[in-house]
Amino acid sequence: MAEAGSFAEKVKQQADIVRVVGEYVRLKKSGQNFTGLCPFHAEKSPSFAVHPTKQIYHCFGCGVGGDVFKFVMEMEKCAFPEAIRIVAEKCGISIPRPKERTPEEQKENQQRMVLVEMHREAQTFFVKQLEGTLEGKAARAYLEDRGLDKDVLARFGIGYAPSGGDLLLRHFKSKYAEKLLAESGLISRDQSGRLFDRFRRRITFPISNESGKIVAFGCRALGDDQPKYLNSPETPIYSKSNVLYHMDRAKEGIRRQDFAILVEGYMDAIAVARAGISNVVASCGTSLAEPQIKLLGRFTRRVVVNYDPDAAGQTATERSLVLLLEQDFEVRVLALPPVGNKKADPDLFIHEKGAEEYLKLLKEAPPYVDYLIARARQMDLTTGEGKLRAVNFLLPYVQKIPNRILRSEWATRIAQQLRLDEPVLRAALSKAASERRSEIKTQPELVGRAAKPVERRLIRMLAEAEGFRHELAQRLQNARLYHGLETEKIFAALVIASLAGQPLQATEVAAVLEERDRRLLFEILFEETNEPTWEEALSCIEALQNRQAERELAEVQRSIEASPSAPEMRGLLEKKQELMRRLAAAR
């Protein structure tokens, strides 16, 4: 990687890998080498070794290894040129002066430096307004009511933009040119050309870039002013899609714990960080951008998405999942339960339930696949069309998964949870993928228009077997054997009519059914079949009982995999054995 005679080669020859690695890993001398706990995987006994003579490192546990540049690139999640600079600085090696910039480049660089300084001054101004004015006193009362004491305000640099409209402008006017004031994003210009403070009567949250320099502000209205939140516009030093709030403070925690918590807003990030969970960042709104995901990817490939539970938050969660899956992230979703009758964002939940309860739910946050299937199951799955809508809701996420094994696992779980025939579902997914469609077209096999033979035969018996249809209806109802079937509504109508003790009229039963079920009922009634017998009815009942036991067994197995408490586990295992015995006896 380092060419002979290059600056990189010079740095590599002069660098002391033990010294560099020792800043990240506690090393102990062991013979000719130095050893320590590997920073790239969790271990209790040291298997990570550094060879001072060969200037290399290797872990005998996870197999990683390389030179000093490779180590820094992995630890800092940076590119090769940046690793060279970091190693040179750590080892006291002078870095050659960069090539001369053009006058335009020099001017742009100077402008960025001035804009950063303006934001630093604005931060000082806002903090003083919060601490030392009457308006600031009202803002402090609001923040204290939200649980933010003096230490928290100082820790996160929270301030206050006064209502006057030109106080910050007057503070800046003697120092900076009018053009620069407008380009800073701190000062706005009206239609007549008059300058005024962009932020007025608002709580201010400084937004820093990854290196900790303030480049923008997010501000919340203190009263009923709209919009509720107002952020800095795009400027030469700030692009919203390239910055994550709290990343400058969170990156070490993210690297150490190898996952990030992604929340929606400033107060959510502050609440989680105050709870002792440092690896939290906010997207500052409901639109996560690809550059923000790439920024996260420098520190981890694992994310827990914890957006607000309202409709906008759910939409944002689903949109974020698509982007994260495209970048091959491992994603979990934390959907917080309501607090009382209120939907709970992280700030409200921690304030009401405490940090310990939040941390418990965080550890239990399900993989994104379970979250999305749970969302799909909120749809009406009693009809084939409802199941089709659920599959089409899930399909875009399936298509974004780059790993074929994971896509295959998805298909199995979707089929189980939505009670679809897995081979039919796989064929439909495969066809949609090959045609690059984001939805599956209506297919009779998928939506279940053609009821299974045993269901069709029982429906025919309920409609025509005058000698035993009352007894048949009684057994089906008592054992709830038709519940959850595609044909459930047809069965329900026939059972009610059969138990009424009156001659059954097919047209009257059909009148209470939806169009799809009505057509299926008549289709079955027109089939050519043999005369029904009670022995055949008992055989069909047994088939439904076995199918019901198989569904129960699948549910029990999912509950066992969720690692319940010991008493619950014993009950589940007993239930599993009972169901397995019942199925074995039926075979």
| Residue 47, φ and ψ in degrees, nearest 5 | -130, 10
Q: Are residues 390 and 409 in the same domain?
A: yes
Q: Are residues 268 and 343 in the same domain?
A: yes
Which pLDDT does position 168 carry in this prediction?
A: 94
Q: Are residues 464 and 566 in the same domain?
A: yes
* Residue 331: CATH number of its domain: 3.40.1360.10
Question: Are the CB atoms for 157 and 127 separated by under 8 Å?
Answer: yes
Give the residue from 28, 39, 41 showing the smallest Cα distance to 71. Answer: 39
DSSP state of 15: -
Domain boundary among 365, 394, 409: 365
Question: Are the CB atoms for 463 and 525 separated by under 8 Å?
Answer: yes
Which pLDDT does position 433 carry in this prediction?
A: 61
| Residue 261, φ and ψ in degrees, nearest 5 | -100, 125
- Indicate whether 100 belongs to any domain: no
Q: Are residues 330 and 225 in the same domain?
A: no
Which pLDDT does position 261 carry in this prediction?
A: 96
- Indicate whether 376 belongs to any domain: yes
- Indicate whether 1 belongs to any domain: no
- Indicate whether 103 belongs to any domain: no
- Indicate whether 167 belongs to any domain: yes
For residue range 423-454, list pLDDT tens digits in order. 777 777 776 666 555 555 545 444 444 567 88
- What's the number of domains the chain is made of? 5
Q: Write down the residue that tokens 């074929």 correspond to.
A: 404
SS3 at position 200: coil
Which pLDDT does position 201 carry in this prediction?
A: 93
Domain boundary among 205, 238, 271: 238
Which pLDDT does position 245 carry in this prediction?
A: 96
Q: Are residues 483 and 569 in the same domain?
A: yes
Burial class (CB in 10 A: 0-12, 13-18, 19+), 402: exposed
Q: Are residues 82 and 189 in the same domain?
A: no
* Residue 137: CATH number of its domain: 3.90.980.10
Q: Are residues 132 and 203 in the same domain?
A: yes
SS3 at position 535: helix
CA 74, CA 350: separation in Å to the nearest integer? 34
Q: Give the distance from CA 286 to its chain's centroid.
A: 12
User: What residue ranges of the chain have pLDDT lower than 70?
Assistant: 1-5, 97-101, 285-286, 402-403, 431-451, 526-528, 563, 583-587
For residue range 115-152, list pLDDT tens digits in order. 999 999 999 999 999 998 988 999 999 999 888 999 99
Q: Are residues 497 and 562 in the same domain?
A: yes
Q: Which amino acid is at 207?
A: I
- Indicate whether 205 belongs to any domain: yes
Residue 439: domain span: 372-447
* Residue 51: CATH number of its domain: 3.90.580.10
DSSP state of 164: S
Q: Are residues 45 and 144 in the same domain?
A: no
Q: Are residues 129 and 201 in the same domain?
A: yes
Domain boundary among 422, 447, 472: 447
User: How many CA atoms within 13 Å lie on the side-chain side of 438?
Assistant: 5
Question: Are the CB atoms for 331 and 303 separated by under 8 Å?
Answer: yes
Q: Are residues 443 and 457 in the same domain?
A: no
Task: Find all residues with CB under 8 Å of 163, minimum gap 6, and list them.
Answer: 135, 200, 201
- Indicate whether 131 belongs to any domain: yes
- Indicate whether 104 belongs to any domain: no
Q: Are residues 227 and 261 in the same domain?
A: no
- Terminal-residue alpha carbon distance, the chain: 65
Which pLDDT does position 447 carry in this prediction?
A: 45
Question: Are the CB atoms for 476 and 458 separated by under 8 Å?
Answer: yes
